[in-house]
Structure formats: structure tokens, C-alpha cells
Amino acid sequence: MPEVVVVGAGPIGLEVALRLMADGREVLVLDQGPIGNTIRTTFPPDTRFFSSPERIAIAGRVIPSADQEKTRGEDYLAYLRAVAESSEVPVRTYTRCLDVEGEAGDLRVKVSRTDDASREELLSATAVVLAVGGTHRSRRLGVPGEDLGFVHSRLRDPGDYYGRRVLVVGGRNSAAESALRLYRAGARVAISYRGPHLHDRVKFWIRPEVEGLLEEGRIARFMPSVVERVLPGRVELSSPEGERQVQVDEVLLQIGFEQDSALFRRLGIPVLGPDRVPEYDHETMRTSRPGVFVAGTATAGTQSGFRVFIENCHQHAERIAAALAGREPPEPVAARPLPEV
């Protein structure tokens, strides 16, 4: 049986496991999907990371690059799988953590198969690390009609949209990049965003081209505007100029994601504030539930403005390793500012 169960086989979950394995601890990593599941389900095809490769590399394993460009999501997932395989990290995919029972040092982790909830199992562990991420489900608009079949939150192959009238809702990175790729694939694209212009932190290599297309009218601009209703074949928007109607074949919601904090609540870990941030000690990553730690972007709950990324979570692994070994917490590492911000 493992000494430590890590819930979440994303980059920080794997990094925690590798750091604890370096201390000689028996570790088991669980994930309700494949390795890197939240990246796989939230990144549109061929999306590149904002962060440079060295900042998202884990445990000192270099990310190979043939073109010296920023890493694509698909390549990063292959990298995570290769790290897990070559380092012999024990990972059980498609396994959901249901609950944690017992006391620190004598915990029982209740799990089941994702595809068969009736197959429950209890795993013994001395500690549990929750590295569950913060992008479990797409945000919703909360307006009539958003459940219609032509409304989606994930970009498909852009070629699927050729000749289609697509309204992209949102003005941050995902929305801007999706709009550009749809335009290049031959879609008739419009953007609705509550702000007067694209968000200030849109990737510097995306912003100029999208803004140019907006200025030229090649991508239709509805900024600022708010979606009020989705109807078959059209979307009703409200704006300072009054109500607008946009004819559509597809609506692509690119308005972000929310964390599912149900596991924290089941374990009795308070989630605080509007972002539902789990309560924890920043020096040790311990939660208020004895024996249970939190790591990675899970520490930020649902981020209304992104502040916690892969690149500033690497030190979580060292903090947890020190806490379990009874060592003094390591000195905090100041995050380097992104050069493009």
C-alpha cells in the first residue's frame, strides 16, 4: 500500500510524487481521467502555453523542442506521460477519489473506477495530497438557451467551422486565439465580450492580429456586450447602444472554468471567498484536515483573475516533502515576472 496518495496526475501532482519518491516514500497517483486530464479537456487543439518551456518543466526534466517555440498542449501531455513512464511513477488513471477517512498517519482513501462507480476500494495511506487543479467544468452564462445543441465550450477542429457563422463569447486568451483560428479556417466570426476591448493579458503574439481583424471588420466586434438569450439561429445581446441580434450557426463560450470543490467540502476543508479557495498553510501546504495537503493550481480555487499557474507551483512539492519529513519549510521562491506582461 502507498505511504502517500496524490490525487491528480497533472504536472504538479506528478512533481509532488517525484519529489516524495526522491525521499524514499511509496507514492500512488490517482486521476479520474488520463494523465494531464484537465489540460487535455480545457486546451483547444494545438494551443501553445503562455509560459516558456523551462517554466513548466517538472522535477528538472527538460521539455524537448524541435523549433524552440512555446510548448503545445499535445506535446506537453506527451512529455508528462514520458516523465511518468521513465521515472516509474505509480499512476492509476480513471480512478476517482470519493472520500478520505481516518486520522493523520492512518488514512483510508475511498476510490472507485470512473467508468464503474460500483467498484469501490479503500487504500491505506499516512498522507494525501490534493493536486486536483482548478478547471473542472466550463463556466456558464446563466442565460436562457445556453443548453441548445449549437452552443459549445470547447473548440473542435477549426476546419469543422468552415463557412459557419460563429459567435465567440469572451475576450481573454482562449477567446482571442479561438477567434483567430476560426477566421483562418474560413468561419465567419464575431466576438462578444463585456469589456470595450480584448483583455490586456491576451498573448502578445495573438493580440495584434486579432485586433487588426477587428478593426478591418473581418471579425465582427460586439464590445462591450452581454449575452442575454440564445435562440435557434440567433443570439440576443445587450450593449450600451441597445439590444443587438446576431445570426449564428454556432456559439463558442470561452469564458473560463470553475473548480469543483466538492471533494474539499466532503473532507471538511473550508473553501473561502468568492473564488472558493481551500484553506491551507502556505509554508507547509497542510489543510485544516490533518494528514491532507493541497498543491498546484488547486490552491487557488476558481480563479477569477489568474495568479496561480504551473510555473509558480513547483515549490509546493518541496514544501510538502519538508513537512512530511519534519524539516523546516524551504525559503519561498519569488516568481519571475512573465516578460510578455
pTM for the model stands at: 0.87
Considering the domain 4-136+257-325, what is its CATH architecture? 3-Layer(bba) Sandwich (3.50)
* DSSP for residue 286: B
The total of other beta-carbon atoms located within 10 Å of residue 81's CB is 16
| Total residue count of the chain as it appears in this document | 341
Decide if pLDDT at 339 tops 50.
Answer: no
Q: What is the pLDDT of residue 337?
A: 54
Nearest to 57 by CA among 68, 45, 71: 71
Between the alpha carbon of residue 230 and those of residues 54, 183, 250, 286, the distances in Å are 43, 22, 11, 44
Considering the domain 140-253, what is its CATH architecture? 3-Layer(bba) Sandwich (3.50)
Q: How high does pLDDT run on average in the chain?
A: 92
Decide if pLDDT at 247 tops 50.
Answer: yes
Between the alpha carbon of residue 159 and those of residues 62, 100, 210, 283, the distances in Å are 33, 45, 18, 48
* DSSP for residue 70: P
Q: What is the pLDDT of residue 47?
A: 83
Q: What pairs with residue 30 in β-bridges?
A: 7, 92
CA R_g for the chain: 22
Q: Alpha-carbon distance 178 to 202, whole Å?
A: 12
Confidence of residue 341 (pLDDT cuts 50, 70, 90): very low
Q: What is the pLDDT of residue 305?
A: 67
Domain boundaries, the chain: 4-136+257-325, 140-253
The total of other beta-carbon atoms located within 10 Å of residue 124's CB is 13
Confidence of residue 137 (pLDDT cuts 50, 70, 90): confident
Domains 4-136+257-325 and 140-253 share a fold: yes
Q: What is the pLDDT of residue 50?
A: 80
Note the pLDDT tens digit of each residue in 188-236: 999 999 999 999 888 888 899 999 999 999 999 999 999 999 999 999 9
